[in-house]
């Protein structure tokens, strides 16, 4: 199974995580686990900024939590994190800080890196355990819910309108967008189609 390794530089990430409530922390770890296991990720979650600096975003209660990272031989190094209310624009000063930290990493040894994977194992179980599989199901539900919510807002469709189109109660759509429940394949396809999303089913040839 495809898995990226995740490390973090110095204490920027840990100090930030310690300042948040448990629900916000879990949303960040959901996003990190998607980044860890998926080769292709929606721009809703990950975007290349410049000079090898990427931004991972996790939303919770109208707040956007940002994780700036770079790649090192295919694995992930978290540089630092930030938090903003209700805005999708990334401040230039934060991008400049991330670029500087990346340069510092290139000049220093790995002694300044600590494992995020180890912390996730402690919190949510080691990879392959029932606890971790449950966490990953929750993470994927959160991921897909956020993509559907983003598409709905882009199409300027209300939850009530979308629910009417696919024949369900609006609370059902709200729960899907929040990652509380996971729709079946047929319902997911109906919702995605109504929002103009395309779904590709490809078989890997070995």
Residues 173, 175, 178, 181, CA torsion sign: negative
Q: Tally the C-alpha atoms within 13 A of residue 43's C-alpha that lie toward its C-beta.
A: 5
Q: How far apart are CA 152 and CA 173, in angstroms?
A: 11
- Residue 175's pLDDT band (cuts 50, 70, 90): very high
Q: What pLDDT, in 10s, does the model give residues 21-76?
A: 999 999 999 999 999 999 889 888 999 999 999 999 998 888 889 999 999 888 99
Alpha helices in 78-129 (DSSP H): 92-107, 116-124
CATH 3.30.2310.20 maps onto the chain at 6-124
Please check the confidence at residue 206 and state whether its pLDDT lies above 50.
no
* Contact by Cβ (8 Å): 27, 20: no
Q: How far apart are CA 202 and CA 164, in angstroms?
A: 31
**Interaxial angle between packed helices 130-154 and 185-194, expressed in degrees from 0 to 180 and rounded to the nearest 10:** 20
Q: How many residues does the chain have?
A: 206
SS3 state at 141: helix
Q: Residues with Cβ < 8 Å from 22, sequence gap 6 or more?
A: none
- Residue 89's pLDDT band (cuts 50, 70, 90): confident
Please check the confidence at residue 109 and state whether its pLDDT lies above 80.
no
- Residue 202's pLDDT band (cuts 50, 70, 90): low
Q: The pTM is what?
A: 0.86
Mean pLDDT, rounded, for 84-92: 72
Neighbour count for residue 78 (Cβ, 10 Å): 24
User: Six-digit token pair at 187?
Assistant: 């319902």
Burial label for 125, CB within 10 Å (0-12, 13-18, 19+), is middle
Q: What pLDDT, in 10s, does the model give residues 127-143?
A: 999 999 999 999 999 99
Third-level CATH fold of 6-124: YaeB-like fold (3.30.2310)
User: Six-digit token pair at 206?
Assistant: 């070995």
H/E stretch holding 167: none
Mean pLDDT of the chain: 90
Q: Tally the C-alpha atoms within 13 A of residue 22's C-alpha that lie toward its C-beta.
A: 2
């Amino acid at each position: 199974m495809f898995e990226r390794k995740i490390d973090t530089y110095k204490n920027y990430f840990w100090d930030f995580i310690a300042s948040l409530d448990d629900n916000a922390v879990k949303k960040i770890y959901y996003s990190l686990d998607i980044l860890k296991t998926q080769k292709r990720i929606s721009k809703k979650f990950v975007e290349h900024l410049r000079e090898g600096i990427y931004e991972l975003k996790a939303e919770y209660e109208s707040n956007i939590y940002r994780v700036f990272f770079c790649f090192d031989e295919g694995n992930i190094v978290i540089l630092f994190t930030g938090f903003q209310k209700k805005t999708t624009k990334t401040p230039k000063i934060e991008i400049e800080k991330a670029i500087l930290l990346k340069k510092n990493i290139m000049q220093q040894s790995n002694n300044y890196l600590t494992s995020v994977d180890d912390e996730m194992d402690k919190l949510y179980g080691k990879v392959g355990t029932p606890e971790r599989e449950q966490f990953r199901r929750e993470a994927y539900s959160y991921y897909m819910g956020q993509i559907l919510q983003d598409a709905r807002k882009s199409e300027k469709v209300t939850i009530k309108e979308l629910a009417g189109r696919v024949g369900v109660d609006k609370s059902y759509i709200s729960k899907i967008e929040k990652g509380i429940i996971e729709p079946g394949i047929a319902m997911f396809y109906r919702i995605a189609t109504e929002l103009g999303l395309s779904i590709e089913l490809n078989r890997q040839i070995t």
